[in-house]
């Protein structure tokens, strides 16, 4: 049973590793925000395009737990 479970998890990991997710992973920027910047997410979202016009999409979310 352990061998079958291991094979299933391995196959699922391989599938998600090679599955096209609809975006280029090399063009995604993840920034950890805390403190004042985290408190002012909406302000950051409004001024971001002015400083980096080449960015096509900006998604912001607060952390699940703080």
CA 41 to chain centre: 16
Better-scored residue on pLDDT, 61 or 54: 54
Taking only the tens place, the pLDDT of each residue in 13-42 is 999 888 887 877 777 777 777 777 777 777
Percent of the residues in the chain that have a pLDDT greater than 70, as a whole number: 91
Confidence of residue 64 (pLDDT cuts 50, 70, 90): low
- Kindly report whether the global pTM for this prediction surpasses the value 0.75: no
User: Does a structural domain hold residue 13?
Assistant: no
How far apart CA 20 and CA 25 sit, in angstroms, is 10
The structural domain count of the chain equals: 1
Is residue 25 within 8 Å of residue 16, measured between CB atoms?
no
Q: Is the pLDDT of residue 47 over 70?
A: yes
User: Does a structural domain hold residue 16?
Assistant: no
Token pair belonging to 65: 């737990």
Question: Strand, coil or helix: what is 34?
Answer: coil
User: Does a structural domain hold residue 27?
Assistant: yes
User: Does a structural domain hold residue 52?
Assistant: yes
- Give, as one character, the DSSP assignment of residue 40: T
* Residue numbers of the domain that contains 39: 23-66
How far apart CA 21 and CA 64 sit, in angstroms, is 23
């Amino acid at each position: 049973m352990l061998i079958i479970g291991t094979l299933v998890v391995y196959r699922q990991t391989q599938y998600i590793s090679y599955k096209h997710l609809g975006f280029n992973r090399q063009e995604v920027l993840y920034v950890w925000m805390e403190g004042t910047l985290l408190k002012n997410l909406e302000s950051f979202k409004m001024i971001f395009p002015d400083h980096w016009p080449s960015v096509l999409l900006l998604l912001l979310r607060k952390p699940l737990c703080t």
